[in-house]
Structure 1
Amino acid sequence: MAIPVEPALSPHLVVDDAAAAIDFYIKAFDAVEIGRVPRPDGKLIHAALRINGFLVMLADDFPEMSGGKSMTPTSLGGTPVTIHLTVDDVDTRFQRALDAGATVVMPLDEQFWGDRYGMVVDPFGHQWSLGQPVREVSYDEIAAFVGQSG
């Protein structure tokens, strides 16, 4: 009997010290730990969390599994990826991330596309944006604004 598959798209984060990252995500984003699979030395080969209701997987860095290269954002000099959370009460959620140890990349402010929005980087180098819709804005209005400012 086949197991039914629910379509999903889930980030899989590589970090230094996955156990500490789990603790951070619980404090910063109210994550719920689903489970973890440690090696005998304690490094996590897999962990799963729910953040904002969605699955996020993570693991410790294992360069031996990546052609000898470290794959953390810190070792790579940053990340081109931003993980976005749409939340209510963005001010509280943003401050909670800062209190847990995140650093501001872009301060919270109302944006032309209709969100109160800001960005942080977590202590492991992953970038997160938090946004709360505050007004409806059409794509035409957004395009007009970008055309004026460009």
Structure 2
Amino acid sequence: MALNNTPMLVPHLVVGDAAAALDFYARAFGAEEMVRLPGPDGKLMHACMRVNGSMVFLNDDFPEYNDGVSSTPAALGGTPVTLHLHGADVDGRFQRALDAGAVVVNPLEDQFWGDRYGVVRDPFGHHWALAESVREVDVTEIAAQMSSAE
């Protein structure tokens, strides 16, 4: 395996069933699987996929390597992190995620900041925001909208 010292920031997801997650992400978001490294018990120690042009790592939950604590969103009572997918045809991409088994957290709607935006939760508890820029909005208009919402 070639060494890669390219600077990068890669989200790393912990899931209860990494093999099923890889399949779901391919169906829901068009993820391209790059690496799958199973451990002796068959659980995935590491996997890598490309989603929307960016790498995402994931692995099965291994509480034994985390002070005996599970680190899946379900075990933690939810997730504080949202992965943001921006691009064309957000309506089609949102529906594709729902058809694959995601559930709506925030419905897809036109937002005051100029995006059509919605959030889904995948079957493993991770949140994914899907967005498409639909109109240009000046930052002062955005700030004014945010101020009036308080």
Tell me what 1:38 maps to: 38
Change (3 A) 1:113 1:125: same
Superimposed CA distance per residue, residues 74-132 of structure 1 (whole angstroms, 9 cap, x where no aligned partner): 11000111000001000000000000000000000000000000000000000000000
Gaps of 5+ in 1: none
Tell me what 2:60 maps to: 60
State which drifts further: 56-65 or 134-143.
134-143
CA distance in 1, matches of 2:114, 2:135: 5
Amino acid at match of 1:46: H
- Over aligned residue pairs, what C-alpha RMSD do you find? 1.2
3-state SS of 1:80 partner? coil
Percentage of matched positions with identical amino acids = 62
TM-superposed CA distance for 1:6, in Å, is 2.2
CA distance in 1, matches of 2:9, 2:91: 27
Amino acid at match of 2:89: D
Amino acid at match of 1:114: G
Tell me what 1:78 maps to: 78
Amino acid at match of 1:81: V
TM-superposed CA distance for 1:4, in Å, is 6.0
TM-score, length basis structure 2: 0.96
TM-superposed CA distance for 1:5, in Å, is 2.7
Amino acid at match of 1:110: D
Change (3 A) 1:62 1:4: closer
3-state SS of 2:112 partner? coil
CA distance in 2, matches of 1:89, 1:6: 31
CA distance in 2, matches of 1:73, 1:86: 23
TM-superposed CA distance for 1:138, in Å, is 1.9
Tell me what 1:129 maps to: 129
Amino acid at match of 1:59: N
CA distance in 1, matches of 2:143, 2:16: 40
> How many residue pairs were aligned?
149
Tell me what 1:87 maps to: 87
3-state SS of 2:130 partner? strand
State which drifts further: 138-147 or 86-95.
138-147
TM-superposed CA distance for 1:69, in Å, is 0.2
